[in-house]
Amino acid sequence: MANQIFGYARVSTTDQELSIQEAALRAAGATIIRSEKKSGTSTNGRDELATLIEFARAGDTIIVTRIDRLARSIADLSRIVETLTKKGVHLKATEQPIDTSSAAGKAFLQMLGVFAEFETNLRKERQLEGIAKAKAEGVYKGRKASIDGDTVNQMAADGKGASEIAKELGIGRASVYRYLKVPS
- Taking the alpha carbons at both ends of the chain, their separation in whole angstroms is 74
pLDDT tens across 11-21, in order?
988 888 999 99
Is 35 in contact with 25 (CB distance < 8 Å)? no
pLDDT band at 181 (very low <50, low <70, confident <90, very high): low
- Separation between Cα atoms, residue 96 and residue 114, nearest integer Å: 14
pLDDT tens across 63-113, in order?
999 988 888 777 788 889 889 989 999 999 999 888 887 788 778 777 777
| Catalytic sites, residue numbers | 12
Q: What is the pTM of this model?
A: 0.61
Those residues with Cβ within 8 angstroms of residue 70's Cβ, 6 or more apart along the chain or in another chain: 8, 10, 40, 49, 64, 77, 80, 91
Is 67 in contact with 120 (CB distance < 8 Å)? no
Structural domains of the chain ordered from first start: 5-120 (3.40.50.1390), 149-179 (no CATH)
Supply the mean pLDDT for the chain: 86
CA-based torsion, 37, 9, 20, 96: positive or negative: positive
